[in-house]
């Protein structure tokens, strides 16, 4: 005789899995919007909490003020940067396809010639690499600049989702905790650990990389290196490479300025790169890494490159966030499964 209770449980899980799969396909077009909004909500929550008392605890105006600041101080600069980079990528693509590029030839020789002393057959085809990279940027950033209806809808949905995450985020978290089979203190610890690691990675490694990349772009613009914004964008992930950093971009640019006879600009860019770009890491790190787990830049670099490869431009954020979640889960595993002392855990 069939056990009625087991039949009910089996039917429930079959129904649950079916509805979950259907729900995934329903929400799939907006997963990027939800993910991005959640990231910004975590980063902006301290600011939201600070301004909440000014509105006597009313969440709606406080959340709207945060959204306004995001639009003015994050959205607009990013839009103009994307517009500039898209234009420079288009110009670079055309110039490389038609008649080459002097700066690219300089960088290619700078990297290729020393290696050829040891490996004569070595070929570094930077022109081909950058042509593909420029095409990748145009394919992903072009729709944002063109302002299609779908892009406008995505931006609007991101802002609306961020608003509700700021306003009702704690209620959403409580709902997830109630669904978890773990003890509540473990759930709280897990969420706290993920939040701290996210803050550490984004406010630490990635923010320093963005600042250094921006300074490289500004320096290139001041000293008249071609396609300054595009090279600043490329310098951002390069700054995460241990022991090399933005020098991978700055040194060839300095060499280019000297080779074309612009000695003053070459000296100026050298000082800019050494004194400002090179030392900003030491100046910002003590403030940005005060809280959370400090993740080695090598892992952040791989997570950024892997994220860009899989998710596109948003992978710059999504890759490190997935890394943050992994590190937090490893921390939880060592703490609660292996029963290690928390003081001895160093990830």
DSSP string of 243-288? TTTTHHHHHHHHHHHHHTT-HHHHHHHHHIIIIIIHHHHHHHHHHH
> Which is higher by pLDDT, 175 or 23?
23
Q: Does residue 345 carry a pLDDT above 60?
A: no
**In the prediction, which pLDDT does 218 show?**
92
**In the prediction, which pLDDT does 122 show?**
67
Q: Are 126 and 133 in contact (CB under 8 A)?
A: no
Token representation of residue 90: 């288009």
Q: Does residue 347 carry a pLDDT above 50?
A: no
**In the prediction, which pLDDT does 253 show?**
86
Decide: pTM greater than 0.85.
no
Residue 123 is given by DSSP the state: -
Average pLDDT over residues 239-267: 83
Cα separation, 257 vs 263, in Å, equals: 7
- What DSSP letter does each residue of 289-347 carry, written as one string? TSSSPPPPHHHHHHHHHHHHHHHGGGHHHHHHHHHHHHHHHHHHIIIIIS---GGG---
**In the prediction, which pLDDT does 317 show?**
78
Average pLDDT over residues 245-270: 86
Say which range, 59-63, 95-99, 115-119, 188-192, has the weakest mean pLDDT. 95-99
Q: Does residue 1 carry a pLDDT above 70?
A: no
Q: Are 320 and 300 in contact (CB under 8 A)?
A: yes
Position of tokens 């890494």?
Answer: 289
Closest by CA to 314, choosing from 68, 24, 34, is 34
Q: Are 113 and 58 in contact (CB under 8 A)?
A: no
């Amino acid at each position: 005789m069939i056990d009625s209770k087991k039949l009910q449980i089996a039917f429930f899980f079959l129904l649950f899995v079916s509805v979950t799969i259907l729900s995934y396909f329903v929400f799939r077009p907006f997963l990027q919007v939800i993910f991005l909004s959640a990231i910004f909500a975590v980063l902006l929550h301290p600011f939201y909490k600070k301004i909440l008392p000014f509105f006597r605890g009313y969440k709606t105006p406080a959340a709207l003020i945060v959204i306004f600041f995001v639009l003015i101080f994050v959205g607009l600069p990013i839009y103009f940067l994307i517009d500039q980079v898209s234009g420079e990528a288009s110009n670079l693509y055309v110039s490389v396809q038609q008649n080459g590029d002097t700066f690219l030839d300089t960088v290619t020789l700078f990297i290729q010639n020393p290696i050829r002393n040891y490996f004569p057959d070595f070929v570094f085809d930077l022109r081909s690499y950058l042509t593909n990279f420029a095409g990748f940027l145009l394919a992903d950033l072009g729709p944002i600049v063109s302002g299609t209806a779908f892009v406008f809808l995505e931006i609007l949905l991101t802002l609306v989702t961020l608003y509700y995450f700021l306003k009702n985020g704690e209620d959403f978290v409580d709902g997830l905790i109630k669904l978890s089979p773990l003890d509540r203190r473990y759930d709280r610890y897990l969420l706290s650990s993920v939040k701290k690691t996210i803050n550490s990675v984004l406010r630490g490694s990635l923010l320093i990389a963005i600042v250094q990349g921006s300074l490289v772009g500004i320096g290139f613009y001041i000293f008249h290196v071609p396609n300054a914004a595009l090279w600043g964008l490329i310098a951002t992930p390069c700054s995460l490479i241990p022991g090399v950093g933005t020098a991978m971009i700055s040194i060839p640019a300095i060499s280019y300025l000297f080779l074309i006879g612009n000695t003053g600009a070459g000296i100026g860019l050298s000082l800019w790169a050494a004194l400002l770009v090179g030392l900003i890491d030491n100046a910002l790190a003590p403030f940005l890494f005060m809280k959370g787990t400090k993740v080695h830049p090598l892992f952040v670099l791989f997570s950024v490159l892997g994220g860009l490869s899989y998710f596109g431009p948003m992978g710059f954020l999504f890759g490190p966030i997935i890394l943050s979640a992994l590190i937090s889960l490893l921390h939880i595993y060592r703490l609660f499964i292996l029963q290690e002392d928390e003081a001895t855990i160093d990830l």
